[in-house]
């Protein structure tokens, strides 16, 4: 039986958040990560997030939210996420903060996410951690296509 492995792996796309992300809020539009499947040919993407807090969070999650662009010949970006619009929930980064957590920074991942056609903007959402994510957090993405080896 063949193993399914990444066979086409793209370059790492990196965004360093210039702004804080307060509790129960989205990263601002300037800190979003955009993937264009026309530029980064691939079917899947792995994400890595390195947030930092002044005080260790002991609850909640850090979520990733996707906002698709139109499929027109001249694509138009979708609206930045806000509390009054439902956007596409991609998943929660792991490991998530837990009640006995004392760490104020660590590497979190979200892997094997399917990509849609065209451009998609990805936003970090500080989902109930009770703490503010400090500026200079880093979000990375690597697009890849699965195949058998």
- Dump the DSSP string for 109-138: EEEEEEP-SSEEEEEEEEES-SSPBPTT-E
Please state, in angstroms and rounded to a whole number, the distance separating the CA atoms of residues 20 and 146: 35
Question: Which among 25, 84, 63 is positioned nearest to 139, based on CA atoms?
Answer: 63
pLDDT of 10 strictly over 90: no
Query: Which pLDDT tens digit goes with each residue over 39-51?
Result: 666 789 999 999 9
Query: Which pLDDT tens digit goes with each residue over 107-142?
Result: 999 999 999 888 999 999 999 999 999 999 999 999
pLDDT for the residue numbered 40: 65
What Cα–Cα distance (Å) separates residue 18 from each residue in 50, 64, 99, 117, 118? Answer: 13, 17, 28, 28, 26
Which domains, ranges and CATH numbers included, belong to the chain? 19-142 (2.60.120.260)
Q: What is this structure's pTM?
A: 0.91
């Amino acid at each position: 039986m063949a193993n399914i492995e990444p066979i086409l792996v793209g370059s790492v796309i990196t965004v360093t958040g210039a702004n804080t992300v307060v509790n129960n809020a989205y990263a601002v539009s300037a800190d979003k990560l955009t993937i264009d499947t026309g530029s980064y040919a691939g079917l899947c993407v792995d994400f890595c997030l390195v947030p930092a807090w002044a005080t260790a969070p002991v609850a909640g999650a850090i979520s990733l939210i996707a906002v698709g662009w139109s499929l027109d010949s001249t694509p138009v970006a979708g609206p930045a996420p806000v509390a009054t619009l439902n956007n596409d929930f991609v998943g929660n980064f792991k490991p998530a903060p837990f009640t006995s957590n004392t760490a104020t920074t660590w590497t979190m991942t979200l892997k094997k996410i399917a990509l849609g056609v065209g451009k998609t903007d990805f936003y970090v959402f500080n989902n109930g951690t009770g703490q503010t994510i400090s500026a200079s957090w880093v979000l990375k993405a690597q697009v890849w296509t699965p195949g058998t080896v």
